[in-house]
């Protein structure tokens, strides 16, 4: 098997992180030309951490007043990445038009980003806009990324085996890596600026989705309908966004996102702990050691089993 995970020339060290080549121009434009509004909402993540799920949830929560019917919801006919896109990926072409369309988006604007916190445009870090970050345990991220990058178009130029990709991953060489600095950057901000950054964990979201949906809504000052009705609305939000629903929607079965990845590859297993089926005992030892070295003492803990 081959993988684009961590493969040169697919990745370039850009500022302090490993940037996929096809993103570099868009990143530069995003950093230079993007103007944040105080009511913007960003979904930030390290790739394969549950971005698609969080985009879906955030879209429904932010827009729950606009689309009261769950039977005709935009998520049933559009992939979450089409509803909540990454400015860094669209700003690589037709810059003027894209900037204009971004500034004309209906408010609050809901956008995504894979940029590490220190690389975000200053207008995002300085404005009052809000960021919801999704974290996932580094074991499952690797496996999810491996499966994903073996399928996307950019992987065709690479020749890494599972073991080679794993070594690079443990050295931080992976799209938007090192993963530990990415996670720690947002983790620290969620502690020092709790009104700015909400830090969610994929594993927690799976375990108690209701609680975390309420947390997201509160963080965004967008409480779901008050009173008895709110529980039904929350249940409907969760039902619409859950893995089985999303995976089985016709719109998510075929077609490409960003001309790179097929939509179906964003929905694989959606489980906690699948890494156990992939790692040798020495890999488990190595990644556990890396995690201890890089995240130990940060207060950032996580589950690796369901």
Residue 273 contacts ligand A3P per CB under 6 A: no
Candidate list 33, 242, 286, 303; residue touching ligand A3P; CB under 6 A = 242
Q: Using the CB atoms, write b or e for 183-214: b if 16+ within 10 Å.
A: bbbbbbbbeeeeebbbbbbbbbbbeebeebbb
Binding mask of the shown chain, residues 123 to 142, with x at each position contacting ligand A3P by CB under 6 A: -----------------x--
Distance CA(288)–CA(285), nearest Å, equals: 5
Contact 198, 132 (CB under 8 A): yes
Which of 82, 96, 93 lies closest to 24 in space, CA to CA? 93
Candidate list 268, 278, 286, 303; residue touching ligand A3P; CB under 6 A = 268
Contact 202, 144 (CB under 8 A): no
Residue 117 contacts ligand A3P per CB under 6 A: no
Give the DSSP letter string of 121-143.
-HHHHHSS-EEEEEE--HHHHHH
Q: Smaller CB distance to ligand A3P: residue 99 or 238?
A: 238
Residue 224 contacts ligand A3P per CB under 6 A: no
Respond yes or no: is residue 114 known to be catalytic.
Answer: yes
Residue 6 contacts ligand A3P per CB under 6 A: no
Candidate list 29, 36, 51, 158; residue touching ligand A3P; CB under 6 A = 51
Supply the minimum distance, in Å, between the C-beta of residue 107 and ligand A3P: 25
Q: Smaller CB distance to ligand A3P: residue 149 or 187?
A: 149
Q: Smaller CB distance to ligand A3P: residue 34 or 133?
A: 133
Using N-to-C axis directions, what is the helix angle for 179-192 and 281-295, rounded to 10°?
Answer: 40
Q: Count CB-CB contacts under 10 A for residue 60.
A: 26
Distance CA(237)–CA(67), nearest Å, equals: 11
Candidate list 45, 63, 155, 290; residue touching ligand A3P; CB under 6 A = 45
Residue 257 contacts ligand A3P per CB under 6 A: no
Residue 270 contacts ligand A3P per CB under 6 A: yes
Q: What's the 3-state SS for 233-258? A: HHHHHHHHHCHHHHHHCHHHCCCEEC
Supply the minimum distance, in Å, between the C-beta of residue 54 and ligand A3P: 8
Binding site for ligand A3P (CB under 6 A): 45, 47-53, 140, 144, 147, 241-243, 246, 266-270, 274
Active-site amino acid positions: 114
């Amino acid at each position: 098997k081959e993988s684009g995970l961590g493969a040169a020339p697919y990745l370039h060290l850009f500022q302090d992180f490993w940037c996929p080549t096809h993103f570099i121009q868009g990143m530069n434009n995003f950093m230079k030309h993007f103007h944040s509004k105080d009511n913007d909402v960003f979904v930030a993540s390290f790739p394969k951490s549950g971005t698609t799920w969080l985009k879906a949830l955030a879209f429904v929560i932010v827009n729950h007043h606009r689309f009261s019917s769950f039977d005709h919801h935009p998520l049933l006919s559009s992939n979450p990445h089409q509803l909540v896109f990454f400015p860094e990926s669209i700003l690589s072409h037709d810059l003027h038009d894209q900037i204009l369309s971004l500034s004309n988006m209906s408010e609050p604007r809901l956008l995504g980003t894979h940029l590490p916190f220190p690389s975000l445009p200053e207008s995002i870090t300085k404005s009052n806009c809000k960021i919801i970050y999704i974290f996932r345990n580094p074991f499952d991220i690797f496996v999810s990324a491996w499966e994903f990058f073996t399928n996307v178009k950019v992987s065709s130029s690479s020749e890494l085996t599972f073991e080679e990709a794993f070594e690079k991953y443990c050295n931080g060489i992976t799209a938007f890596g090192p993963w530990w600095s990415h996670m720690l950057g947002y983790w620290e901000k969620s502690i020092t600026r709790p009104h700015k950054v909400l830090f969610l964990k994929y594993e927690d979201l799976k375990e108690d989705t209701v609680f975390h949906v309420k947390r997201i809504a509160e963080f965004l000052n967008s409480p779901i309908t008050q009173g008895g009705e709110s529980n039904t609305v929350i249940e409907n939000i969760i039902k619409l966004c859950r893995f089985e629903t999303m995976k089985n929607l016709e719109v998510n079965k075929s077609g490409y996102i960003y001309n790179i990845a097929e939509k179906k590859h964003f929905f694989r297993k959606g489980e906690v702990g699948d890494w156990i089926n992939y790692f040798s005992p020495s890999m488990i030892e190595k990644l556990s050691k890396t995690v201890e070295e890089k995240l130990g003492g940060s207060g950032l803990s996580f589950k690796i089993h369901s």
